[in-house]
Structure 1
Amino acid sequence: MFKSTNLTNSESISLAKEIVKIGVTDTPLTSLLLAKGLTEKANGTVHTWREKSYSDDADVSVIEGNEDVKFYQSGRAEMSNVLELFQKGVSVSGTANAINVQGQGNIFSSEVADRLTELKVNIERAVTKGVKNDGSATPFIRRMAGLETWADPTNLVTGATSKIIKEEEIKATVKKLWDQGLPTGEYFALVNADMKEQIDSLYKDKYNYVAQTDVFGLTAQTIITNYGRLHLLLSRHASADKMTVFDVNALSLSFLRDPQFEALAKTGDSVKGQVLAEGTLKVVSKKAVAQYTLKA
Structure 2
Amino acid sequence: MVQVANTLDTYKSNSRRETFLDILSRLTPAETPLYSNTGDVTIDGTEPVWQLDALAAPDINNAKVEGDIYTFDPITGTNRVKNFTQIFSKRFIISNTQEAVKKAGKTTDSSYEKIKKGQEIKVDIEVAMLSNQASVAGSSSVARRMAGLRAWLATNDLMGTGGASGGYNTSTGAVDAATNGTKRAFTKALLDQGIAAGYIAGGNVDMLMVSPYLKQVFSTFMSDASVAQTRFAASSSKQVTIVGAADAYLSDYGIIEVVPNRQMARATAAGTDLSRNAFFIDKDKIEKAWLRKIAEDEADPNADGKPVVLNAELTMIVRNEAAMAVVADLNGTSTAS
The TM-score bracket by the shorter chain reads: 0.7 to 0.9
Equivalence for 2:89:
87
Are residues 1:118 and 2:120 paired?
yes
Q: Displacement of 1:40 after TM fit?
A: 1.2
Question: Residues 119, 162 of structure 1: CA spacing in aligned structure 2 closer, same or farther, 3 A cutoff?
Answer: closer
| CA contact 1:159–1:169 (8 Å) conserved in 2 | no
Displacement of 1:121 in angstroms is 1.1
> Could you say which residue in structure 2 is the equivalent of 1:280?
315
1:2-58 Cα distance to aligned partner (Å, 9 max, x none): xxxxxxxxxxxxxxxxxxxxx98532111212xxxx111222222211125455556
Deviation at 1:293, TM superposition (A): 2.6
1:263 deviates by 3.2
1:167 aligns to 2:193 (yes or no): no
AA aligned to 2:89 is Q
Structure 2: how far apart are the matches of 1:128 and 1:253? 12
Q: How far does residue 103 in structure 1 lie from its aligned partner after superposition?
A: 4.5
The percent of aligned pairs where both chains have the same amino acid is: 20
Contact kept, 8 Å, 1:129 with 1:237, in 2: the verdict is: no
- Between 124-133 and 49-58, the greater mean CA deviation after superposition: 49-58
Matched letter for residue 230 of structure 2: Y
- Listed as ranges, the matches of 1:177-216 within 5 Å are 177-182=198-203, 185-203=204-222, 206-207=229-230, 213=239
Q: Structure 1 residues 130-139 or 253-262, which shifts more? A: 130-139
2:36 aligns with 31
Tell me the residue number matched to 2:157: 156
Structure 1 residues 243 and 75: CA distance shift in structure 2, 3 A: farther
- Asked if the contact 1:54–1:74 (Cα under 8 Å) also holds between the matched residues in 2, the reply is no
Pairwise CA distance, 1:139: 6.0
Which amino acid in 1 is paired with 2:91?
Answer: G
Which of the residues 209, 220, 230 maps onto 2:256?
A: 230
Q: Distance in 1 between matches of 2:207 and 2:111?
A: 35
Relative contact order (C-alpha < 8 Å, sep 6+): which is higher?
1
Matched with 1:43 is 44
What corresponds to 1:19 in structure 2? Answer: none
Cα displacement (A) at 1:235: 2.2
| In 1, Cα distance between equivalents of 2:321 and 2:283 | 12
Contact 1:159 1:293 in 2 (8 A): yes
Q: Secondary structure at the match of 1:203?
A: helix
Q: 1:72 to 1:40 in 2, by over 3 A?
A: farther
1:53-96, Cα deviation, whole Å (9 max, x unpaired)? 455556999xxxxxx9x999785310111111111112111122
Q: Which amino acid aligns with 2:327?
A: Y
Calculate the TM-score normalised by the size of structure 1.
0.74
For structure 2, the 5+ residue unaligned runs are 1-27, 64-69, 162-181, 265-273, 332-337
CA RMSD of aligned residues (A): 3.5
For the residues of structure 2 that align with 1:165 and 1:77, how far apart are their CA atoms? 34
Rounded to whole Å, the distance in 2 between the matches of 1:72 and 1:224 is 41
Residue deviations 1:167-188, cap 9 Å, x none? 1321121111211233xx4511
Counterpart position of 2:14 = none
Query: Structure 1, unaligned stretches of length 5 or more?
Result: 1-22, 62-67
Considering only CA atoms, is the larger Rg found in Structure 1 or Structure 2? 2
Q: What is the TM-score normalised by the length of structure 2? A: 0.66
More strand per residue: 1
Contact 1:82 1:142 in 2 (8 A): yes
- Offset of residue 262 of structure 1: 1.8
Between 285-294 and 201-210, report the one with greater CA deviation: 201-210
Count of residue correspondences: 261
More helix by share: 1
**Does the CA contact (< 8 Å) of 1:241 and 1:293 recur in 2?**
yes
Tell me which residue corresponds to 1:65: none
Instruction: Call closer, same or farther: CA 1:203–1:83 in 2, change over 3 Å.
Output: same
